[in-house]
Structure formats: structure tokens, C-alpha cells
Amino acid sequence: MSKPSRTETVTDNLLDHPAVRAWAALKPARVKPDGIEILKLKNKSAVYRLVGVSQGGSSVVAKRCRTATASVERMMHEEFLPRLPLPALRWYGFVEEPDDDYGWLFLEDAGAGAYLPSCAEHRALAGRWLGAMHAAAMKLGLKLALPDRSPVHYLKRLQASREEMRRHFDNSALREEDIRMLKALTGDLDVLEAHWGNLKKMCQGVSRTVVHGDFVMKNVRVETTIAASRLLVFDWEHAGWGIPCTDLAQLKDRTISPDLDTYASALREFSPDISDFRVCELAECGKFFRLLDEIGWESPLLNFGPYRLVVKPTSRLRLYQSQLHRALLAVGWAESGGRPEAAGSRPSFCGQARHRNRCARTSQILSRATVELARWRRRIGYDV
């Protein structure tokens, strides 16, 4: 569902390709594709586009992954998405390989309509879709057997990532600047953990729902017709049941960054009392949760081998460290010199403690929320 990295050139033995053999097990009307495009190819996973094998000559995406990984995605396509009043990709089925360790997921190809976070229409489309999805899951009460996505999950991820990175403080394969970065990142994680009670407070009173868990640009497409545009969402392997914060994260270099006002309007179908300010709080919390996910996915890739093997994870962790530190500064939990603010204080979106304290002394909750929301709008650059 992304641009192919390369196209297979062998055309005489397409029926022998493992993706085609697995597709044939579903007994479709057409088995042999016009071609096979490689969308992703890794040691333990692969994604292919089988060109022209579905109805009307459309394509099918075949995803090979571990059976355990596929279980969540299957659950979403078989038990959850069909119950939503939202557009969804057609699900063709799952085929296990003989050893049962791996299997194949088959899904409708979402096309090539890229999502543009700079486009207000796209952000509004994402806000409506996400709000409707979260509201529907809350209404249905579909906890299913999904993994936990409560604040406890993210705290465990913080602690595990920090421990993993500390193992590499004396890694001879890393350069001095890489080790300094890892120490700075673990320091920022210390600061975040010291203020974890604040994040828990921001999540209190929010109904649990289905969380996509990897709501980023590469996992959605925008299909535009004369009648309307619709958002197509895929790659549900990180889905879970918990607080919807991470799906709201406003990191515009990769996350969907849905329009928060539109999201709040859609969510009010289930939670009529939720305010714009409350949604902004959840999005701010989601920024931290999203960064913890990315750090958690990347830190295990550090190793003690040749430097060429650690270049990619260290470069990504350097980016995440910079973003995490800026996020801590923005809410007033850290200063430019690295000294954390006192733990237990309520976060301020503008990052100015004096303003927060003044509001606490002189304003009621509603007026404080209004002031904070106005500053939040100026900071993120568009009206939430």
C-alpha cells in the first residue's frame, strides 16, 4: 500500500511465488496476477501487491508476518471494522504457512492517494473518521482481546526502553556523540517518568476505546471521487484497547495529526460533554505516548556489532530525543539547561509556569481552559 521498492522481473513462474500460493488457498476466482510488486521486504516480514487478481482487475495486498502479529490485525478486520459505519478496505482472509509460525493477510489495495498533513481538508477528514471510530468502539464496548493501551502500557515501554539504552552506554560500536545522545534521552525519560502522575490525570475520566496505535501517514490513503473523499486506514497490528491519546498526536512530520476540533465534534456522539480543551489535553498526552512507542520500537535495534548496523537506530533515536526534549520544554517539565520542573505540577501547554500559577490562583476551571486553549491554538499553528 506504499510505493513499490522494486518490481519482480520474472514473469514465467508467478504461480510459484509464495504470496500467490497462499492466495490460491483462499480459492479466489483468479489466482495468477499480472505482476507482483514488492512493497516491503524484511527478514521476518514482507508485503506484496498482487496486480489484477481481484474483481474488476483491481489489486490485492499480501502481507506476510508472524502468526502472533497477525492475530490483532485479523481481529480488527473480522470482528471490529465490519461493525463500523465507516469505509473500510475489503478483507479477503488469512492463510497460515505449514509451520504455523508465519501467515499471510490479504487485503484490498488502498491505492496511491497520499495523505497530506498540510491539507486542512485531509486533517478534517481524518478527524471525522477517527472521532467516529473511537465513538463507535466506546458505544459498542468492544474490548475484544486487544492488547492494553492504557497509561500503564506506555510507562512500561518507557522503563524498558530506558533500560535497553543504558546497556549501550559502554558500547564500543557507538561513537561518543551517540552515547551522549543516549544519555540525554534516558535523562529526558527520567524527567517524563517523574511527571507521569500528570499524564495519568490528563487521561482520567476518558472512556476506553479501540486505539489504532500507528496512526501515521504511511498507514492511510485518501480516495477522492467526484462525490466525496474518504479515508482508508490499514496496518492495525499495533491496535489495542485504551486511552485514544496516541492516535491524536500532533507530530506533523509523520503522524496523521487529525484536526482536533473536527475530532471532538465526531466524538460528541458518544461523549457529548467533551470539550475542545479536553481533546487538546489528550493530544498533548498522545505526543508523549507516540514518542514512547517510537523509542520503544527503535531501542531494541541497537546492538554491539559493526557501526553500520547501528547508524539507522541511533539516527532515529537522536530525532526522537530532540522531539521529546522539546515536548518536555513545551509543558514546562524541563528547562533549556536540562533542569526539570517540580514533579506533580499541572502541565501548561504554553510551557510557562508563571502563567499556569496565575491561572490557578485567579481563574475558575472554565476560564483557565479558555486561556490555555487560545495559547495552544497559537502554538500549533491552526485552529483546533
pLDDT at 9 (0 to 100): 42
What distance in Å separates the CA atoms of residue 204 and residue 226, rounded to the nearest whole number?
Answer: 42
**Of all helices (H) and strands (E), which one includes residue 230?**
strand 229-233
Residue 34: how many other CB atoms lie within 10 Å? 13
Cell of 287: 505526543
Q: What is the DSSP letter of 65?
A: E
CATH architecture of 6-108: 2-Layer Sandwich (3.30)
pLDDT at 380 (0 to 100): 39
Q: What is the DSSP letter of 141?
A: T
Q: Do 25 and 258 form a contact (C-beta atoms < 8 A)?
A: no
Tell the residue number behind the cell numbers 527478514, with chain if given. 43
Cell of 288: 508523549
What distance in Å separates the CA atoms of residue 197 and residue 5, rounded to the nearest whole number?
Answer: 44
**Of all helices (H) and strands (E), which one includes residue 157?**
helix 151-166
pLDDT at 311 (0 to 100): 94
**Of all helices (H) and strands (E), which one includes residue 220?**
strand 220-224
Q: What is the DSSP letter of 305?
A: S
Average pLDDT score over the chain: 85
What distance in Å separates the CA atoms of residue 332 and residue 319, rounded to the nearest whole number?
Answer: 20
Query: Under DSSP, is residue 179 helix (H, G, I), strand (E, B) or coil?
Result: helix
Phi, psi of 103 (to 5 degrees): -155, 175
What distance in Å separates the CA atoms of residue 247 and residue 231, rounded to the nearest whole number?
Answer: 15
Closest by CA position to 154, among listed 291, 317, 349, 348: 291
Q: What's the pTM?
A: 0.84
pLDDT at 45 (0 to 100): 87
What distance in Å separates the CA atoms of residue 148 and residue 242, rounded to the nearest whole number?
Answer: 6
What distance in Å separates the CA atoms of residue 203 and residue 214, rounded to the nearest whole number?
Answer: 19
Q: Where in the chain is the domain with CATH 3.90.1200.10?
A: 120-380
Strands 91-96 and 148-149: unpaired
Query: Under DSSP, is residue 205 helix (H, G, I), strand (E, B) or coil?
Result: coil
Cell of 193: 517518568
**Neighbour-count burial for 72-91, b at 16+ CB within 10 Å, e otherwise:** bbbbbbeebbeebebebbeb
Query: Under DSSP, is residue 211 helix (H, G, I), strand (E, B) or coil?
Result: strand
Residue 27: how many other CB atoms lie within 10 Å? 8
Q: Where in the chain is the domain with CATH 3.30.200.20?
A: 6-108
pLDDT at 99 (0 to 100): 81
Phi, psi of 113 (to 5 degrees): -75, 100
Closest by CA position to 285, among listed 340, 324, 246: 246
In this prediction, the residues of the chain whose per-residue pLDDT falls under 50 are 2-10, 338-384
What distance in Å separates the CA atoms of residue 238 and residue 232, rounded to the nearest whole number?
Answer: 17
pLDDT at 171 (0 to 100): 95
What distance in Å separates the CA atoms of residue 328 and residue 336, rounded to the nearest whole number?
Answer: 10
pLDDT at 246 (0 to 100): 97
120-380 sits in which CATH class?
alpha beta
Contacts 24+ apart (CB under 8 A), 157-160: 157/292, 157/293, 157/295, 157/296, 158/189, 158/192, 158/193, 158/292, 158/296, 159/193, 160/296
> Which amino acid does the sequence have at 254?
R
